[in-house]
């Protein structure tokens, strides 16, 4: 026993790391859920007019090329695309919320979900980095790679721990 009366917990750091990943996944889920709700709020609205108002609010000249690209994109937005984007956002948010819950509760299936879903995003993030390295892209890639590698470590650790437990029981 420790002097303060608490026993040492060898898995405390692992639990804290899993909960940190769970909070990160929860934050991603909330962000995407909000984006899906924003898409629904644009249904039956003049998206081009809203985009133009946003550019004016941000004091961005509509003569600039990025502003023109943004306005062209807004002009091509349809209600069907907004509904589709919202559906995808809600499905993605549900996955992230489920993953966050499972990681918080230290469920083995959630570790697999975190590993597989993170690994599936890595090629897309590499492609974005090849298009141009920015701080945001580099941080997203580094964070996701870190989570994938940590989940791999946890999966391997748990596998070896189960194997040793079975071997000790024989």
Q: Specify the number of domains making up the chain.
A: 1
pLDDT at 162: 81
pLDDT at 7: 54
28 occurs within a structural domain: yes
11 versus 105: the higher-pLDDT residue is 105
Q: What confidence tens digit (pLDDT) does each residue in 15-71 have?
A: 899 999 999 999 999 999 999 999 999 999 999 999 999 999 999 999 999 999 999
121 occurs within a structural domain: yes
pLDDT at 1: 43
Q: Which residue has the tokens 């349809």?
A: 78
What is the Cα–Cα distance from 75 to 51, expressed in whole angstroms? 9
Question: What are the residues whose beta carbons fall under 8 Å from the beta carbon of 68, sequence distance 6 or more?
Answer: 62
131 occurs within a structural domain: yes
DSSP state for residue 10 in the 8-state scheme:
T
- Percent of the chain whose pLDDT exceeds 70: 94
27 occurs within a structural domain: yes
């Amino acid at each position: 026993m420790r002097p303060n009366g608490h026993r040492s917990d060898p898995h405390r750091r692992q639990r804290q790391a899993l909960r940190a990943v769970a909070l990160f996944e929860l934050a991603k889920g909330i962000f995407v859920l909000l984006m899906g709700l924003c898409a629904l709020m644009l249904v039956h609205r003049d998206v081009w007019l809203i985009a133009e108002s946003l550019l004016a609010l941000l004091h961005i000249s509509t003569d600039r090329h990025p502003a023109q690209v943004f306005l062209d994109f807004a002009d091509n937005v349809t209600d069907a695309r907004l509904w589709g984007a919202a559906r995808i956002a809600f499905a993605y948010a549900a996955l992230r919320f489920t993953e966050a819950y499972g990681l918080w509760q230290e469920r083995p299936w959630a570790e697999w979900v975190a590993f597989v879903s993170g690994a599936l995003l890595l090629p897309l993030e590499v492609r974005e980095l090849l298009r141009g390295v920015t701080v945001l892209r580099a941080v997203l890639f580094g964070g996701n790679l870190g989570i994938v590698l940590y989940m791999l470590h946890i999966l391997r650790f748990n596998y070896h721990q189960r194997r040793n437990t079975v071997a000790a029981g024989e």
